[in-house]
Amino acid sequence: MAFADNLRQLPSVAHIAALHLIDETGNVAATIPNAPGKTGSLTLYAALATKHGAINEAAAREGLELFAEHTEDARQHPGSHPNIDRLFEVITSGKGYTVRVDPQA
């Protein structure tokens, strides 16, 4: 399935303002806002965190499948898809992220 089709299968993130990825030292490594151009990544990361309890290696592998056609583009063009690059990094390093969600006000 294509990325857009996969997104339709995932829960809404209308109630989320942003999702923060927290590294092993407790620092915010990245923030994915609920904003145009980021909502797809937010939706995917939120679903993965709910299912896996964190963004760990299993979540990263599933995420790469769900990003579908964008995953191959990210392989071909490192840096052009930072939220996909991060999943490759989790798999390579074995270091994942805990997740903190900011609700919509």
Asked whether the predicted pLDDT for residue 28 surpasses 90, the reply is yes
- For the chain, the residue count is 105
End-to-end CA gap in the chain: 34
What is the percent of the chain where pLDDT is above 90?
Answer: 98
User: What is the CB neighbour count within 10 angstroms for residue 46?
Assistant: 21
pLDDT of residue 1: 86
What is the percent of the chain where pLDDT is above 70?
Answer: 100
Asked whether the predicted pLDDT for residue 25 surpasses 90, the reply is yes
Q: Structural domain boundaries of the chain?
A: 3-103
Q: How many angstroms separate the Cα of 96 from the Cα of each of 5, 15, 49, 85? A: 26, 24, 11, 13
68-100 confidence digits (pLDDT tens): 999 999 999 999 999 999 999 999 999 999 999
pLDDT of residue 105: 85
Q: What is the mean pLDDT of the chain?
A: 97
